[in-house]
Amino acid sequence: MLRVTLLLLAVTAARARMNVLFLVADDMRPELSIFEGKDFPSPVHPPIHSPNLDALARKSLLLKRAHVQQAVCSPSRSSLLTGRRPDTTHVYDLQAYWRDVGGNFTTIPQYFKEHGYRTIGSGKIFHPGRASGYNDPISWTDPYFEVGKTVNKFVYKEQVTWLSVPMDLLKNNSLWDMQNTDYAINMIRKAAPQARSGERPFFIAQGFHKPHLPFVAPQMFFDLYPLSSISLPPNPYAPDKMPVIAWSNYSELREYVDIERLHVSGDINTTLPNDVILNLRRGYYSALSYTDYELGRVIQELENQGLANNTIISFWGDHGWQLGEHGEWCKHTDFDIATHAPMMVHMPGLTDKGIVTEELTEFVDLFPTLVEAAGLPPINLCPENSTDVLVCTEGTSLIPLIINPASPNWKKAVFSQYPRNEYNGDQMGYSMTTDHYRYTEWVKFNLQPVYKPDWTEVFGVELYDHYGDPQENKNLAYDSAFSSLVDQFSKQLHAGWRAALPK
């Protein structure tokens, strides 16, 4: 750790305070060429066209096994942006605002603002609306910018799941993410003079709405993925012996008119017609590549302004996404494919040659990482009850992984959760991922004012062997041969994330 600190001091002392470019994608799972291999278990997809993310990864700390704390937009974003887990933010849905239900917790952009940065946001950073007090105004020095949803009405006539936009329609019109990207580019230009002179660094956040449903993208990105190149998922059925409570009936997808017309139930071991699956997968890949294009425009402007060597760039997607694997769609589960998401951090002078780590990491780790990389006062670990603590973290700075990407002292388990409302009560699926396994208990959950699980009332248990079964097709929790391992993991899960922190 001392070597890391000395290296950071040497880098930061040699220049003015670094700027931060904070990039976010919505519903982007790590199905990128840079994640090929055991870190992404789906073997059937076309080569993904993401040249800008690939280039960023090659000069970043690439976190190949990063997991979100809850696989849905607002809880995941609230957790990452405050550095605290859902049982601390008390955000489990798309309505609750952590400042109302958890505490007046300082966010990442707010912390940089309080240390003299100009903080500018556009697109989807926080979950919009009341879940963030309407983009958390206290976090920004400049008025937050968000294009209204009506921007796509010139082409989007009804609520269907995917749409290829003819290029000629874009000559005099622009899509949602195009306009937000244009704004971010303009703000980089405006903030550049003060940033170059060292007078005032910036923290500019740009949130892309894609590849979230509906999969709307210009035709040129659909052209990258001919329908003949798209394959069906290899595992269209629910895991063997999966508890019913682990399932989501993907109501988010079924609300779109083209899916509603199919009268599908979303029940376990039902599926969509093959042609619908193939088109949805094609639409998702196209929207992902479109997002990569817009992201590339923002990074290019940073270079155009001569700020590339003095700007930290972070990128993350707010959670994974199910594209028909297990017959599931969307997020809303504890499956690895829903909690595993892309994350990378470029730190000039530290990661320029690219560093890849296979260590398990969590989204709550980003807040302390950016603070340390920028040379700001470090953030302390949160106490057990941090309701009245404005600034603290329940994550671990990733900086040590720059020096040793395979650190023997790193955390050996990461934690996610997902709520359910079944059996006339509230439940929580607490999930723990280790190097080898994912273990989950679905238990009774006591909501406000307690916000704690009752481990004695269990509705289902899951255990998946990621070495032999990376797609999580067979639940081993009810196999007597694994009973001792289940007992061991149960104790470890109940001990929680604090017991898994690096020593």
The pTM is what? 0.96
Which of 233, 449, 237, 463 shows the shortest CA–CA distance to 334? 463
Q: What is the pLDDT along the chain (503 residues), one digit of tens a residue?
A: 454 554 554 454 445 699 999 999 999 999 888 987 766 656 567 889 999 999 999 999 999 999 999 999 999 999 999 999 999 999 999 999 999 999 999 999 999 999 999 999 999 999 999 999 999 999 999 999 998 766 666 677 789 999 999 999 888 788 999 999 999 999 999 999 999 999 999 999 999 999 999 999 999 999 999 999 999 999 999 999 999 999 999 999 999 999 999 999 999 999 899 999 999 999 999 999 999 999 999 999 999 999 999 999 999 999 999 999 999 999 999 999 999 999 999 999 999 999 999 999 999 999 999 999 999 999 999 999 999 999 999 999 999 999 999 999 999 999 999 999 999 899 999 999 999 999 999 999 999 999 999 999 999 999 999 999 999 999 999 999 999 999 999 999 999 999 999 97
- What region does 285 belong to: left with phi over 0, alpha with psi -120 to 50, or beta? alpha
Among the options 73, 330, 382, 392, which is catalytic?
Answer: 73
Please confirm, yes or no, whether 73 is among the known catalytic residues: yes
Among the options 90, 127, 319, 340, which is catalytic?
Answer: 127
Please confirm, yes or no, whether 127 is among the known catalytic residues: yes
Nearest 10 degrees: Cα torsion 126, 127, 128, 133: -70
Pairing of strands 343-346, 61-67: antiparallel
* 465 neighbors 436 (Cβ within 8 angstroms): yes
